[in-house]
């Protein structure tokens, strides 16, 4: 089903995957969890760790789970856009996105991810920082924040990477 590799062994172009294929950010546990589609984020090295940074608007339901749990996952599904249409356009407060998207949750390693994923990155939350308007040196990106609902950046140490076998 899944094979564990290191973050440095990921052979997928993650810039292309995040921006073109998109990903699900998921947090929670067996009692409750939520996931959302994201097309912003990045990965690299900081503080001696392979790290992933997820960006989530504060009003998103998923943010409640990220803030209340120590782990979150980033999962990739290739060009399976139907999953992302459902998980990016509906709130888990109102509908069962897992059922609607045809996903099968796996609860493991203090996290939640889905059997249908091609790539899963499990992250341990290390730092959260709210973006602030006054910190933008270049004002051009402010066009993405008409409602001044600036994202929070969640830095997570990559603790496990799983690829579909």
User: 99-108: long-range contacts at Cβ-Cβ below 8 A with a sequence spacing of 24 or more?
Assistant: 105/33, 107/29, 107/30
pLDDT recorded at residue 158? 98
Lowest model confidence (mean pLDDT) among 31-35, 86-90, 101-105, 110-114:
86-90
Q: What is the pLDDT of residues 97-150, one digit of tens each?
A: 999 999 999 999 999 999 999 999 999 999 999 999 999 999 999 999 999 999
What is the value of pTM for the model shown?
0.96
Task: Tell me the pLDDT of the chain averaged across its residues.
Answer: 96
Report the pLDDT averaged over residues 36-41. Answer: 96
CATH code linked to domain 2-164: 2.30.110.10
């Amino acid at each position: 089903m899944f094979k564990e590799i290191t973050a440095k062994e990921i052979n997928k172009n993650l810039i292309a995957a995040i921006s073109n294929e998109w990903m699900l950010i998921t947090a929670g546990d067996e009692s409750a969890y939520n996931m959302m589609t994201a097309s912003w984020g990045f990965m690299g090295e900081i503080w001696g760790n392979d790290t992933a940074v997820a960006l989530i608007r504060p009003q998103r339901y998923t943010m409640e789970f990220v803030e209340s749990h120590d782990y979150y996952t980033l999962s990739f599904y290739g060009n399976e856009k139907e999953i992302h249409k459902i998980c990016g356009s509906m709130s888990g407060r109102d509908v069962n996105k897992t059922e609607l998207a045809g996903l099968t949750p796996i609860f493991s390693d203090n996290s939640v991810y889905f059997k249908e994923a091609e790539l899963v990155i499990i992250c341990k939350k290390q730092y959260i920082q709210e973006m602030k308007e006054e910190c933008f040196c270049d004002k051009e990106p402010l066009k993405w924040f008409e409602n001044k609902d600036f994202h929070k950046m969640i830095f997570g140490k990559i603790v496990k990477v799983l690829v579909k076998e």
